[in-house]
Amino acid sequence: MNGFLNLNKPQNFTSHDCVAKLRKILKTKKIGHGGTLDPLATGVLPIAVGKATRLLQFLPSEKAYKAKVKFGIQTTTDDLEGEIIRQQEVKDLTLAKIMDILPEFMGEIEQIPPAYSAIKKDGKKLYNLARKGEVIDIPKRKVFIDKIDVLNWQESEYPELDLKVICGGGTYIRAIARDLGEKLGTGATLANLQRTLSCGMTLENSLSFDDIINQQKADELSLIELDYPLQNMPKIYLNKEESKSWLLGQKISRITKEEYQFYCTYNHENKFIGISEQRENTETNIKPKIVIYPNL
């Protein structure tokens, strides 16, 4: 089996749990995922099966989320899974105050990832260090947030704000909730998170575990084609001789106007055969980066 699955991840599953479960369902070990989701989160978890695991690095990085931020509460994990470390009623918080702050989270910003995250420092995952009670100096990282829309605002002693966030890879929505609370002086944590877009896959087209199991039993499970999620990449089509040379690992002379580094590559029969790389300062030479065909 070679291709992608658009999994709708359920709550209380880690991304690793999902991969392990799918290995049993599909009876294959070569499975990976295209971006970690926290156990609390649900929604789109791109799954690569077989040769598709080699293509994960080339999938589009844009992601979209629906998030619920709860004000007046701070936790160790920046979401409701963690231990509450501060709690206060914030009845005077208004949506107008929040709208004044939100523009500060747009565009390229610096963000400190949550202490409980899968990011590694000195070869060790932060959440393992945090669980041991170690004080961690987490460096800031630049992330890009394209858009934040307010979906709903609910006033109470602990007000809740529903947001739609469109952002680049590596963005932590938990950190947005935490930092929003800090800027408002109320404290805040992430109460709910659903990913609606990842690697070009949408929530509307996602499959639950039950969907996958039922389709597998009925012999109706169809994986997403290997090149389908790579629509963000430029394409190169080779003739018969070029295809033969390329599959032998040889460079191909090709004039390319675009200044891209990688290209989806198709043979003379319009069959996707892998990824080509254009080396810097050699504009007319491309060579194989990842060969998918004919070793399917």
pLDDT in tens, 151-192: 999 999 999 999 999 999 889 999 999 999 999 999 999 999
Residue 38: active-site member = yes
pLDDT at 121 (0 to 100) = 52
| Cβ–Cβ < 8 Å for 164, 102 | no
Of the residues 38, 79, 179, 227, only one is catalytic, namely 38
Tell me: pLDDT of 47 over 60. yes
Q: What is the mean pLDDT of residues 62-79?
A: 95
Which residue segments constitute the domains of the chain, with CATH numbers given? 3-59+201-217 (3.30.70), 63-198 (3.30.2350.10), 233-291 (2.30.130.60)
pLDDT grade for 35, boundaries at 50, 70 and 90: confident
Alpha-carbon distance values, 86 to 74, 98, 105, 186, 247 (Å): 5, 20, 23, 10, 60
- Work out the end-to-end distance of the chain between its first and last CA atoms, rounded to an integer number of angstroms: 9
